[in-house]
Amino acid sequence: MLGRRTLFSAAATTGAAIASFFTGRTAAAKSSASSFVGDVEPRGTDGRLERLPTLDLESTQDFLTGFRTKINTEFEGIALKRSRKVLEDAGLNPYGDHPMETVLPLLENDPVIGARTRLWIGSQQVTWKTLQDHFHEHADVYLEEMEAADNAGPGTLELNPDMEIPEYTKHEIHIQPGGYVGDPFAGHIYHYGTNMFFAGRNFQDELHLGHARDVAAPEDGKVLRVLELGSGSGQLTVALKERFPEAEVWGVDVGGPMVRYAHMRAADLGVDVNFAQRLAEDTKFPDGHFDIVMSHLFFHELTEQASKNVIAEVHRILRPGGTFFPIDLWSRGQRPGPQAFQKYTYWFNHRWNGEVWFMEYANLDLEGTMREVGFDVNERVRGRQFFENLTGTKKA
Ligand SMILES: C[S@@+](CC[C@H](N)C(=O)[O-])C[C@H]1O[C@@H](n2cnc3c(N)ncnc32)[C@H](O)[C@@H]1O
């Protein structure tokens, strides 16, 4: 039987490899559960998000969310303006498409642009640290809570602690300590941490509900089975079930802690969705099984080759006429843009924000790859959130 420790002691095989790489901690509780007063989430919910258990932690996260929003709006505007001035001073057209080798030395050492970068990264570091500290300090209670939910319904959870975890997934993506596969509370940390990234839109799942509304159903209207790849904390998977209540809905993710958290949350919400710790490039589902396959913010975290493997797998598991809706940065085919500041931003995400495969993603011809494996790339949907996206339909 899978106990709360089993998942991570069994993962010790991978753990050895991870340990040398990650600074992430183990599940060892620093203090006993008895030092934690009350229920695990004694403070109710804010929309669909369980309130953090202490006012101290909650207000820290609220502050960081507001601060990050300020950085992404006002400070970003200041840095953008500054980048144009720096280019002009160097005798370059501030709106021109200059190579990275020209742009970087000019922008990366500029104090105004650097200050914006530092604040952005710093706010993220504090977010992760405060969350990780909290969940580890109360590890026993949180592990117990997840363990109790493992077999709870209405949906199912499949954990595969002996699964081989691909090397390319073992990194501290967006500097999240332990990444998705190296911390038992990766799901908790990701869910609360991304509330700051998404400017508070995890409170009501606004972002994910919007994406679920945007997905194009197959032309014949038949939607019996739906899959989300890289389902993370499961917000989109849940939203897909709400959009297609009659369908069997699955979320697949490489991270055991991710699916474990996602399942617990879905069970808590009473939503009947299934989560499995599996690879998106090897989902184990039969050919032609799904009517819709979706992903959100997934491909930019894969190597170019892994993306190609996943797209081939999606084609295999979709039925003819089924639709594939991958939502991500530039999935419509945009590349790191001509503006120098935008280029610099992509680079700093890669260099300082742990976005290890960002530049490979920039090289990926998503549309071409989809066509190559047999999709009609027949629609460009203006997503209601950040991105413009492609929809692929498997040819009949
Ligand atoms: C940025 S998160 C997105 C989570 C979720 N889709 C959302 O919208 O919040 C990317 C997720 O993809 C998962 N992932 C990365 N590589 C994977 C792979 N090869 N197979 C399955 N999941 C993978 C990660 O563990 C992570 O949970």
Q: What is the pLDDT along the chain (396 residues), one digit of tens a residue?
A: 333 333 333 333 333 333 322 233 333 333 333 343 445 666 888 888 989 988 999 999 999 999 999 999 999 999 999 999 999 999 999 998 888 889 999 999 999 999 999 999 999 999 999 999 999 999 999 999 999 999 999 999 999 999 999 999 999 999 999 999 999 999 999 999 999 988 888 889 998 998 899 888 999 999 999 999 999 999 999 999 999 999 999 999 999 999 999 999 999 999 999 999 999 999 999 999 999 999 999 999 999 999 999 999 999 999 999 999 998 886 655 566 668 888 888 888 899 999 999 888 888 888 899 999 999 997 655 554 455 678 899 998
Q: Which atom of ligand 1 is nearest to the CA of 280?
A: 20
Per DSSP, 106 falls in state H
Residue 94 CA to ligand 1 center (angstroms) comes to 36
Residue pointed to by tokens 């530039």:
330
d(CA 301, CA 215) in angstroms, rounded, equals: 21
Helix (H, G, I), strand (E, B) or coil at 152: coil
Ligand 1 pocket test: which of 301, 311, 331 has the largest number of ligand atoms within 8 Å of its C-beta?
301
**Nearest Cα residue to atom 24 of ligand 1:** 230
Helix (H, G, I), strand (E, B) or coil at 305: helix
Per DSSP, 282 falls in state B
Which two structure tokens, joined as six digits, stand for 161? 């602690």
Residue 229 CA to ligand 1 center (angstroms) comes to 7
pLDDT at 387: 58
**Nearest Cα residue to atom 2 of ligand 1:** 232
pLDDT at 180: 96
Q: Which atom of ligand 1 is nearest to the CA of 236?
A: 8
Helix (H, G, I), strand (E, B) or coil at 58: helix
Which two structure tokens, joined as six digits, stand for 292? 């819709």
Per DSSP, 390 falls in state E
Residue 233 CA to ligand 1 center (angstroms) comes to 9
Residue 214 CA to ligand 1 center (angstroms) comes to 20
In this structure, the residues whose C-beta lies within 6 A of any atom of ligand 1 are 169, 180, 230-233, 235-236, 252-255, 258, 279-281, 296-298, 301-302, 306
Residue 69 CA to ligand 1 center (angstroms) comes to 24
pLDDT at 247: 98
Ligand 1 pocket test: which of 253, 265, 304, 357 has the largest number of ligand atoms within 8 Å of its C-beta?
253
What are the extents of the domains in the chain?
Answer: 6-23+50-54+127-394
Ligand 1 pocket test: which of 158, 169, 237, 265 has the largest number of ligand atoms within 8 Å of its C-beta?
169
pLDDT at 12: 33
Per DSSP, 158 falls in state E
Residue 256 CA to ligand 1 center (angstroms) comes to 11
Residue 287 CA to ligand 1 center (angstroms) comes to 22
Residue 36 CA to ligand 1 center (angstroms) comes to 31
pLDDT at 42: 67
d(CA 87, CA 24) in angstroms, rounded, equals: 40
CATH code at 6-23+50-54+127-394: 3.40.50.150
Which of 268, 202, 177, 236 is closest to 61 using CA atoms?
202
Element (H or E) spanning 293, and its range? Answer: strand 290-296
pLDDT at 6: 35
d(CA 212, CA 160) in angstroms, rounded, equals: 27
